[in-house]
Structure 1
Amino acid sequence: MIKNIFKNKSKMTTEPQENEEVLDQTTTENQEHHEQGIEGAEALSPEQKLEEDLANEKDKFLRLFAEFENYKRRTAKERLDLFKTANQEVIQAMLPIMDDFDRAITEIKKTDDNVLLVGVELISEKLKSTLYSKGLEEVPVKAGDIFNADFAEAITQIPAPSPNLKGKIVDVIEKGYKLGDKIIRFPKVVIGN
């Protein structure tokens, strides 16, 4: 029993020495950190440095995320615009054919051949309805409207047949069309001077 007491006592004497070594080491580290803090007031503790780094990384992440969202939104809008005007070249190539049908119908009306007139009108309407279903619209311009250079192209000016037609559209030479919100062919008009 006495031996056990001496053993425990010897353990007790060694444990404080180990604790004192750890304490001394911790105290030395604290003194070094304190001296560094005095030398450079700008020096941060490791926790503060980590918090600052975390805040910077969060900021970078948020900015990158916002840029990516803007990119997605922009590409989606561009894709929609592309789909809306994907047929533009084909539809523009069909516009002169529509004009030819209109001229043909005008000339056939001058004859007495009603069967031919009905046949050509059916084909013309079928072509127009197909193109209109793809998004084509006629630009609404008619004689008597005020001329607006944003929606019509003036090919010539003539003396106004009446005073109320000065600066207004006298005649529409060629119809204009738009695809969605974009005008793909401006109407060609004659203006009264």
Structure 2
Amino acid sequence: MSEANDKTDGQELAAQGDEDSGPKLPTNPELEDALREAVESVESHEKEAAAGPEDVAAELAKSNDRLLRLQADFENFRRRALSERHDLYQHGHENLVKDLLLTVDNLDRAIGHARESEGGDLESFLQGIELVQREFLGILEDHA
């Protein structure tokens, strides 16, 4: 019988050994609170992750809308700049032509005066042409 008692005692020791070898959970209240907070944190992160795709989709839609608006603004800016450049080019030529018309009128007057005098006063004709030349060069300098 001693062998039977030995087996029973061995089985009891093995059972106790199994209980002793397993992890024991701490009974410290601070650790329990920390564990509870960690579990709550994980759960809240899971909830945020579940709601995340909707937020990401909304943010993506906002970013896409901003991009489209920015592209439209840039296209409007490009068109406006092109139109202003065209207008400036066209109006710049108008001013040059107006100024040159005055010079052409002065040149016509000098030629008309030379025809009326019939070869008389070559010196005054030359002075008139020089005056028109200075006026013409002044206009070119102003518009260059």
TM tier, smaller: 0.5 to 0.7
1:63-99 Cα offsets, whole Å, 9 max, x none, are 3133224433433443344344335445434544432
Query: Is 1:126 the equivalent of 2:135?
Result: no
Aligned to 1:68: 77
Partner of 2:62: 53
Identical pairs, percent: 8
- Shifted more, 87-96 versus 62-71: the winner is 87-96
Q: TM-score, normalised by structure 1?
A: 0.43
Query: Could you tell me how far 1:50 is from its partner in structure 2?
Result: 1.0
Q: What amino acid is aligned across from residue 14 of structure 1 in structure 2?
A: D
In the TM superposition, 1:141-160 aligns within 5 A as: none
Partner-residue secondary structure (3-state), 2:95 = coil
Taking only aligned residues, the RMSD between alpha carbons, in angstroms, comes to 3.6
Distance 1:130 1:21 in 2: 90
Task: Pick one of 26, 32, 52 that aligns with 1:13.
Answer: 32
Return 5+ residue gaps in structure 1 as ranges: 1-6, 35-43, 136-193
- Say which of 117, 122, 126 aligns to 2:122: 117
Q: Which has the higher strand share?
A: 1
Using the size of structure 2 for normalisation, the TM-score is 0.54
Q: Rg larger in 1 or in 2?
A: 2
State the AA in 1 paired with 2:54: S
SS for the counterpart of 1:45 is helix
The change in CA–CA distance for 1:80 and 1:51 in structure 2 (over 3 A counts) is: same
For 2:134 and 2:77, the matched residues in 1 are separated by 41
